[in-house]
Amino acid sequence: MNQRQNTFTKYFAVIAAGFIIAGFVIDMNHSPNDLPHLDGKQVEVQAASSGKPMFIDVGASWCQPCRKMEATVFSVDSVKKFLTAHFVVNQIDAGDKAQSEFVENDLGVDALPTIIVMRSDGIEWKRQTGYIDANRLIAWLKDSTYAFVLYCQSVEPALRSAKEKQLPCMIICSKKQKGLSSMYTLFQAPVMQAFIKSEVVATILRGYGNGSDEFLKGMKCENGTLQLADQSILVVQADGKRYRQIVVKDETYLNPNKLLDSLKVIIKQQNGS
């Protein structure tokens, strides 16, 4: 594990400990909101260098619930202290035309306010839409649901690890940032968590056609070509030369057992047994 991954794991271990142990009491002292307003690239650079997860709040001056959060949540001293201690924080004005493409296309935000928590490498952990008060915000940040996402390696290290362990690599794929949250519900089920821990090396791929799917070149699939669906799961053989795709449809979201059966059939076929 490289230095950046070690740093990130260390930060998350501190946060997770707080999630699981006691509650967090909000000190309702208020001061002007001086949380950072950065562009998308700046926050990614800071997160990559610090190893901290990203906390992104998307709002607008014309949005009444956004203004309420500014006045009653982000101006609370203990909220600001908690956020800046554990995250690279960024507040984005969706009303700024210069930010509109990033908000709509990169973040997939279609309602305000929206809060998104991402790993330091830009993979989404979870999101919350609508007003949320200070106590509920901290509780939501402490909730370790989908925490397995934070431990997943990026694609290339995961493929190398799968080869070393002689295990298949399972890649959770989503073209849109927003789609990841719904995908994660499948893998939160205990049967899927046990499968991830023992039978595959899991990783996440967000966005296609921007170089993030370069690893697919040179590999073969069952019909010779691959068109990645908006949301799918790739199962790559341990040798990294062949893969199968499961296109995740709405009905699959509600049935992790059905997905697990499909994954096991694919792995069995790949192993030639």
- pLDDT tens for each residue of 89-107: 999 999 888 888 888 888 8
Q: Is the pLDDT of residue 138 over 50?
A: yes
Same domain flag for 177 and 200: yes
Whether 96 contacts 63, CB under 8 Å = no
User: Residue 25 has what pLDDT?
Assistant: 45
Which residue carries 């899991």 as its tokens?
202
Stretch among 58-62, 124-128, 177-181, 214-218 having the lowest mean pLDDT: 214-218
For residues 140-150, average pLDDT: 90
**pTM here?**
0.76
Residue 147 lies in a domain: no
If you average pLDDT over every residue of the chain, what do you get? 82
Beta bridge partners of 30: 76
The residue ranking higher by pLDDT, 109 or 35, is 109
CA distance 136 to 128: 11
Q: What is the CATH number of the domain that holds 158?
A: 3.40.30.10
Same domain flag for 31 and 160: no
Same domain flag for 118 and 156: no
Q: Which residue, 94, 113, 142, sits at the end of a domain?
A: 142
Q: In which band, very low, low, confident or very high, does the pLDDT at 120 lie, cut at 50, 70 and 90? A: confident
- Nearest to 207, CA basis, from 91, 106, 112: 106
Give residue 95's Cα distance to chain centre.
Answer: 25
Q: Is the pLDDT of residue 58 over 90?
A: yes
Q: Is the dihedral of CA 105, 107, 113, 114 positive or negative?
A: positive
User: Domain containing 214: what range?
Assistant: 152-270
The residue ranking higher by pLDDT, 209 or 162, is 162
Q: Is the pLDDT of residue 30 over 70?
A: no
CA distance 238 to 168: 5
Residue 92 lies in a domain: yes
User: Residue 89 has what pLDDT?
Assistant: 93
Query: What is the H or E stretch that residue 100 is in?
Result: helix 97-101
Domains of the chain: total = 2
